[in-house]
Amino acid sequence: MTRKAARVYHSLPMNKGSALLVLPLALLTAVIFAACSSSAGRSKISMWEARYNDRALGRVTPDQLLREVGIKTDLIPPGKVGRYKYRPMTPRYITIHSTQNYSGDAYNHALALKRGALRATKRPGGNRIGFLTWHFTVQSNVAIQHLPCREQGEHADFDGPGNNYSIGIEMCEHRGNDIALTIDKTARLAAYLMYTYGIPLDHVVPHYHWPRISPYIKDPHKDCPHFLLDRGRPGPTWQWFLRRVNLHYSRLIPGPARTLG
């Protein structure tokens, strides 16, 4: 509705009957919108699940699950750019992100991190080191590690628990990448990290979970990873993802697991 049309609409006299009519129409619109959102979420999940063959899944050792993830180590050099100083961490959470970069794959992100190309303004109440950093970038055919899991990244909430205590995983969205397989590989990686570092399932969280408290940011809760959220918030799609993580976690046969730094 244009502003002019809105002014004309609100200038019209409203009797009691027409006032009663507006409220049901508003409610009906809200119900239809919610139903459409729910249907879209179910349709999206169904498309992803069609890419999986869960009947073929069996029990695995931690090493076997890690091989399914397909980790490639390509760390930011210690003492350089986003690792110019050592910042130790005891991981307690796993934070899931999406890149929202439709041209860059996991290898592009690894190169950018190593070159220090992903800069951010260093300031109190904001980025602490002048660079963006995280631990893993996942796409359908590989998961690249950028930081040791016992070092802090700069990917969530500045000087908050998301950066201080969580392992950051970015999911790629570049053209040609299979989002369904990327999500499943991320779920396998999260399951492995849960097992290796003793992290419970309810500590696997979206970026949205960590509010970014800063005078420079209007909305503290980021819509990220946007394709796993519903209307910008954790909902049924996020719960589906957690079930996916738990599926792979439940496949694990207890045994030694290699730490990833």
User: Residue 72 pairs with which residues in a beta bridge?
Assistant: 144
Residue corresponding to tokens 């909305």: 219
| pLDDT tens per residue, range 133-158 | 999 999 999 999 999 999 999 999 99
Using a pLDDT cut of 90, give the percent of the chain over it: 80
Q: What integer pLDDT is reported at residue 236 of this predicted model?
A: 97
Domain 54-251: assigned CATH number: 3.40.80.10
Question: What is the structure's pLDDT at 213?
Answer: 85
Residues whose CB is less than 8 angstroms from the CB of residue 79 and which lie 6 or more positions away in sequence, other chains included = none
What's the residue count for the chain? 261
Mean per-residue pLDDT, 78-85: 97
Q: What percentage of the chain has pLDDT greater than the value 70?
A: 84
- pLDDT class of 125 with cuts at 50, 70, 90: confident
Q: Taking all residues of the chain, what is their mean pLDDT, rounded to a whole number?
A: 88
Residue 28, pLDDT above cutoff 80: no
Instruction: Give the per-residue pLDDT at 42.
Output: 80
Confidence class for position 40, pLDDT limits 50, 70, 90: low
Q: Sign of torsion, CA 36 29 228 91? A: negative
Q: Tell me how far apart the alpha carbons of residues 236 and 230 are, in angstroms, rounded to a whole number.
A: 7
Q: How far is CA 84 from the centre of its chain?
A: 26
100-102-108 Cα angle (round to 5): 95
Q: Is the pLDDT of residue 238 over 90?
A: yes
